Amino acid sequence: MRATVAIEPVSARIALVFVWLTLGAWTSVQAEPYFAVREGLACVACHVNPSGGGLRNTFGTTWGQTVLPAQRIEEEGLPMWTGALGDYLRIGGNLRSSATHADVPPAGGSDGDATSEFDLEELRLYLDLAVIPGRLAIYFDQRVAPGGSTNLETYVRYASPDQHWQLKAGQLYLPYGLRLEDDSAFIRQVTGIGFATPDQGVELGWESPQWSAQLAVTNGAAAGAETDEGKQASLTATYLQPSWRVGGSFNFNDSDAGERRMQGLFAGVRTGPVAWLAEADYIVDDGFAEGRRRLWVGLVEGNWSVRRGHNLKLTAEYFDPDTDVDEDEQNRFSAIWEYTPFQFLQLRLGARVYDGIPQNALQNRRLYFLALNGYF
Which of 4, 11, 160, 184 touches another protein (CB under 8 A)? 184
* Contacts to another protein from residues 42-71, by CB under 8 A: none
Answer positive or negative: Cα dihedral of 120, 310, 52, 160: negative
| Region binding another protein by CB under 8 A among candidate stretches 28-36, 123-131, 154-162, 318-326 | 318-326
User: Looking only at residues 231 through 250 of this chain, which bind another protein when binding is defined by CB under 8 A?
Assistant: 232
Q: Which is nearer to another protein, 135 or 308 (CB)?
A: 308
Contacts of another protein in 128-167 (CB under 8 A): 143, 146-150
Q: Which of 289, 299, 264, 106 is nearest to 185 (CA)?
A: 299
The answer to whether 112 contacts another protein (rule: CB under 8 A) is no
217 contacts another protein (rule: CB under 8 A): no
**CA-based nearest residue to 363, from 163, 110, 43, 57:** 110
Rounded CA separation 212/269 (Å): 16
Confirm or reject binding of residue 221 to another protein (CB under 8 A).
Answer: yes
Do residues 108 and 26 make contact, with C-beta atoms less than 8 angstroms apart?
A: no
Phi–psi pair at 251, nearest 5 degrees? -140, 135
Q: Does 272 bind another protein (CB under 8 A)?
A: yes
Residue choice 256, 292, 341, 349 for contact with another protein (CB under 8 A): 256
User: Closest separation between CB of residue 95 and another protein, Å?
Assistant: 14
Of the candidates 217, 193, 166, the one whose C-alpha atom is nearest the C-alpha of residue 266 is 193
Q: What is the DSSP letter of 82?
A: -
Least gap, CB of 306 to another protein (angstroms): 7
CA–CA dist 85, 108 (Å, integer):
56
Q: Report the nearest approach of another protein to the CB of residue 290 (Å).
A: 8
**Selected range binding another protein among 63-71, 130-138, 184-192, 208-216, rule: CB under 8 A:** 184-192
Angle at 124 between CA 339 and CA 370, to 5 degrees: 30
**Half-sphere exposure of residue 203: CA atoms within 13 angstroms, side-chain side:** 29
Among 37, 278, 336, 371, binds another protein (CB under 8 A): 278
- From 10-18, 43-51, 84-92, 103-111, span contacting another protein (CB under 8 A): 103-111
